[in-house]
Amino acid sequence: MALEVPGEPDAGDKESFKIGDRWFKPNYHAHIVFDWMNHDTGKSCKLNDNDMMEIQTSASEILEMERGQSKAETGKEHLERNDFILEKQKSELRNLDAVMRYKEYQVKCAEQEVQEAESITQALRDEALQKEKQSEMLDKAISDKRSKLNKEKGNQLLGAVADWATGKSKALKGDIEDLKFDLAEAHETIAEERKRTQAETAKLEAYKKTVAQQMESAVRNATLKKDDEINNLKDRISWRDKMLGIFTKILMQSNGTFRKAVDSIINFAKDTYRSIFSREEAKTIKSVMEAFGKNKEDYRAIGTFLVFTADKKENLSNSEYCKAVREVDDVAIGRYEQAQKRGNSLKL
């Protein structure tokens, strides 16, 4: 993969290369995939941005590669894997397009050379025609002079003039022969230039066809890969929904508190006159969260699962679902306990 660089590279840069009037530099980089799941517990290790930056720095030092700039320095957001692949393919296609434009530029230069050769040939042709006209005029002048001299000076003087004129005529004819030779060479040069131009044009057409095939293949492969990932994701979602349904059914049958919490959410969501849970409802929901979780993050996840179960059981409307999610989240983060500690009464 190569990246376009602005302006000309440094004098010591031996890697950059030029296509047309644009400079490109190879982008050498590496990718490492880490398995950060704890296979004993089945949970993933929690890494923040600083942890990820330290891993990337260590990897660049071990591989003796230049460390890339972080998004905190560049201000750019990192792309998702599939988007990165598509962006990389687009970049490669742009580079192929640059090469193709350079090939078109070469063909255009060759065509200009052919036009210049044809112009020179036409000039030689015109000069040859002019010489031929001069020769004809001289032959006519010789004939006229011979007739005149025959009348005025006699045969001796006529012979001397005729010899001079004949020599001049031979010289002009020699020039004409030279011009014809130059003209033949010009025709040969034009033929060779046309042949070379046709070869370059054929190469360009083949290259265009190859680029089009590569573009079509890249798009087709990316589409197939995306379709496969979507199908795999659908299968995983279907499997997850099935397992959640089984797990929910088990909890509803075996855990009375869980069942009571779900019923409390359904009753609250469908009651158009209430905007908050009662003390008893909030206490029941919080007890389920504390039974299965350890912190607020766990409580919120369990609250989401409770609302999900209530929706599966009673098929809540959009407004009822949003109302339940909002209040269950307040229970998870402790707003109901804060109101009770302040001694505030809960309004129904």
Q: What does the alpha-carbon distance between residue 331 and residue 299 come to, in Å, rounded to a whole number? A: 9
Residues 6+ apart with CB under 8 A from 341: none
Mean predicted confidence (pLDDT) in 120-147 = 79
- Indicate the CATH number of 102-226 among 1.20.1730, 1.10.3470, 1.10.287, 3.30.1180: 1.10.287
Across the chain, mean pLDDT equals 78
Which has more pLDDT, 158 or 93? 93
Mean predicted confidence (pLDDT) in 228-249 = 71
DSSP state of 15: S
Residues of the chain with pLDDT > 70, as a percent, come to: 78
Long-range contact set of residues 175-179: C-beta below 8 Å, sequence gap at least 24: 175/131, 176/128, 176/131, 176/132, 176/135, 179/124, 179/127, 179/128, 179/131
Least confident of 11-15, 80-84, 207-211, 303-307: 80-84
Cα 8 from chain centroid (whole Å): 23
3-class SS at 162?
helix
Write out pLDDT tens, residues 11-24. Answer: 777 677 777 777 77
3-class SS at 76?
coil
278, 330, 284, 324: which is closest to 305 by C-alpha?
Answer: 324
Confidence of residue 165 (pLDDT cuts 50, 70, 90): low
Confidence of residue 307 (pLDDT cuts 50, 70, 90): very high
Tell me, letter by letter, the H, E, C secondary structure of 81-132.
HHHHHHHHHHHHHHHHHHHHHHHHHHHHHHHHHHHHHHHHHHHHHHHHHHHH
Confidence of residue 231 (pLDDT cuts 50, 70, 90): confident
Which has more pLDDT, 346 or 248? 248
